[in-house]
Amino acid sequence: MIREIVKDKILLSQKSIDAAYEDKSIAQDLLDTLNAHQEHCVGMAANMIGELKNIIVITDQGSPIIMYNPQIIKTTGKPYTAQEGCLSHQGTKEALRYPKIKVAYLDHDFKKKIKTFSDYTAQIIQHEMDHCNGILI
C-alpha cells in the first residue's frame, strides 16, 4: 500500500527500534511507496511512512533491496560532503558520507547478509540509516 510521506520533524527525529518478521507488511508498504515516487526517490526509511522500525528500502542499479536492521560494520575511504535532498523536507542539506561501506542486515526472508556497497548506493544507504537513527536529513 502506498503511504503518505511524513514531514513531521518530531516523529522523524525519533530513533527507530529493530524490526521483526511481523513487520514485513511495513517493508512492503515502504517498497510500494518508493515505487510510487521512483522518478525522484532512490531510498526510503520506515519512519518516512510513520513507522519507527529499522527498515530501509534502497534502489541499487535499478533493483530494490529491503534491509531489516541494517548496521554499517566498516567504512572505507576518505569521507566527503554531499548535498542531499529528501521527500521529508524541502531543499538540500549537507551530509558527511563514506565512499564505501560494509553493511550487515536481514534480507526480505530475514536471512543475514553482509554486503559491501560503494559510491552512490553507499550514500543512499547512509542517508536512510540516518533516518532510522533520528537524524534529520
Q: Could you read off the pLDDT of 87-136 as tens digits, one per residue?
A: 998 889 999 999 999 999 999 999 999 999 999 999 999 999 999 999 98
Residue with cell 534502497: 58
77 torsion bin: left (phi>0), alpha (psi -120 to 50), beta (else): left
Average pLDDT over residues 18-42: 96
Say how many C-beta atoms besides its own lie within 10 A of residue 64's C-beta. 17
98 by DSSP, 3-state: which? coil
**Which pLDDT band holds residue 30 (cuts at 50, 70, 90)?**
very high
- Catalytic: 128? yes
Say if residues 58 and 125 touch (Cβ distance below 8 Å).
yes
pLDDT at residue 89 in the model: 86
pLDDT grade for 19, boundaries at 50, 70 and 90: very high
